[in-house]
Amino acid sequence: MPAAVPRKARSPLVPVALVVGLGIVLVGGRLLWRQPEPKGNAGFGPTVVSPSVTPTTPRVDASQGQPPAAALDKSPEPAPASGAPGVSDHPPADPSPKPVPGAVLEKILPSVSSRSLDTITGKVRVSVKVAVDASGYVTETNLASPGPSQYFARAALAAARRWRFSPPTRGGEALASSWMLRFAFSREGAKVEPAQLSP
């Protein structure tokens, strides 16, 4: 009888190859049935978008009359303290002092006859306004109140032109002035009362 041919021993690589092939088939099937992911997130996990945090600034209500933030940073300037150098508590002196009144230097009474005076019943009053220059001389006369008689009015004007005055002064400087001369005629004679009108 022919000699028996010995069986070849099974190679241990065959089961391993089968397991690897089965794994490849399973993995390939999953890849074919898997849905494609969006391009933007390929290979990355889910993207979480955090809202941007913007610093908020408290708004100022214009209706409440509050000043803007820039004005709030300004501190009020301190008031000048009393008695500070260069600041006087006393009001400034009056630049134009009051004038010193003038006076009558020479008074002339009207010259009228005694016969004319005997015709008077009561008193005849005549007022004459005179303008006086800075030297004290009369420059103009006007009848402010002529009275009932032209004769006594003319006598009062003539006497008023001859008056002399001490002019009023302001700061040592002589000033022009105006006066009112009030004459009163009666049987006893003539009297006069002067009054300074200006300055």
The alpha carbon dihedral of 39, 45, 46, 49 has a sign of negative
| Residue pair 133/178 in contact by the 8 Å Cβ criterion | no
pLDDT, residue 1, reads 46
Using the 8-state DSSP alphabet, how is residue 120 labeled? Answer: -
The Cα 124–Cα 190 span in angstroms is: 9
- For 86-129, write each residue's pLDDT tens digit: 555 665 655 678 889 999 999 999 999 999 999 999 999 999 99
Rounded distance between C-alpha atoms, residue 159 and residue 138, angstroms: 11
Q: How far is CA 106 from the centre of its chain?
A: 55
Q: Is residue 51 over pLDDT 60?
A: no
- Reported as a pLDDT band with limits 50, 70 and 90, residue 44 is very low
Within 10 angstroms of residue 110's Cβ, the number of other Cβ atoms is 21
Domain ranges of the chain: 103-198
CA–CA distances in Å: residue 35 to residues 6, 38, 42, 82: 54, 10, 12, 90
Closest CA to 111 of 171, 177, 159: 159
Q: What average pLDDT is seen over the chain?
A: 77
**Burial class of 68 by CB neighbour count within 10 A (0 to 12, 13 to 18, 19+):** exposed
What ranges make up the beta strands (E) of 62-157? Answer: 103-106, 124-132, 138-145
* Cα angle: 178, vertex 184, 188; to 5 degrees: 145
**How much of the chain exceeds pLDDT 90, in percent?**
49
Q: Give the confidence band of 156 by pLDDT, cuts at 50, 70, 90.
A: very high
pLDDT tens-place string over residues 3-38: 554 555 455 565 666 767 777 767 666 666 555 555
Q: What is the assigned CATH class of domain 103-198?
A: alpha beta
Q: How far apart are CA 89 and CA 80, in angstroms?
A: 12
pTM of this structure:
0.53
Is residue 55 pLDDT above 70, yes or no?
no
Q: What is the CA radius of gyration of the chain?
A: 64
Report how far residue 71's alpha carbon sits from residue 175's, in angstroms, rounded to the nearest whole number: 57
Helix (H) or strand (E) holding 177: strand 177-186
